[in-house]
Amino acid sequence: MNYKTILLTGIRILLGGLFVFSGIGKLINGSDARYLVELLATEYFWLIEYAGPIVIATSILELILAAFLLWGKYLKWALSGAFLMLGGFSSVLGYFYSQGMSVESCGCFGAFGFSSSLEFTLVRNLVLGIMIIGAFVLIKTKSNEQEKPKSIRNP
């Protein structure tokens, strides 16, 4: 096994573990995440009715993505979904940050309660996004290496 395979495996296991942890935590207690949806509903009023289902659907989607990441199948789809989810979460948190709102916890890990500031959460999401982009690059270089024909020596 070469270093690219080991690095890609490490990235997908780390991301998959984070998504399992986050999904289960929000299913156990999604009150902080629900609060963020309700806070967003101050701008988009129709969201208030769907705060609970949005948190549950997000948690289930995180668990599905985690399963594919840990399984190693449909990896491009799982990484794309993870990147889109991180982008969506980061844009909402970035909006709160730019508006100067004080949010005690992002609700990212639900019942496991790793409270963190908006700044820390945005930096963490940026690092995770860079890891996902790195995984895409590793997948691309691995597929390019496999497609290269082996040179045949003429006698």
Residue 31 domain flag: yes
Decide if 53 is inside a domain.
yes
> What is the domain range of residue 134?
3-140
Q: Determine phi and psi for 91, rounding to 5 degrees.
A: -70, -40
152: in domain = no
Q: Do the domain assignments include residue 145?
A: no
The answer to whether residue 103 is domain-embedded is yes
Contact criterion met (CB below 8 Å) for 74 and 68: yes
Question: Is residue 51 in a domain?
Answer: yes
pLDDT in tens, the chain (155 residues): 688 889 999 999 999 999 999 899 888 888 888 888 888 787 777 778 888 898 899 999 999 999 999 999 899 999 999 999 999 989 988 988 898 887 777 777 766 766 677 888 889 899 999 999 999 999 988 777 776 665 555 55
CA quadruple 53, 109, 7, 88: dihedral sign: positive
Instruction: Tokens for 14, please give them.
Output: 């780390």
Are 78 and 62 in contact, with CB atoms under 8 Å apart? no
Q: Is residue 150 part of a domain?
A: no
Assigned domain for 113 exists:
yes
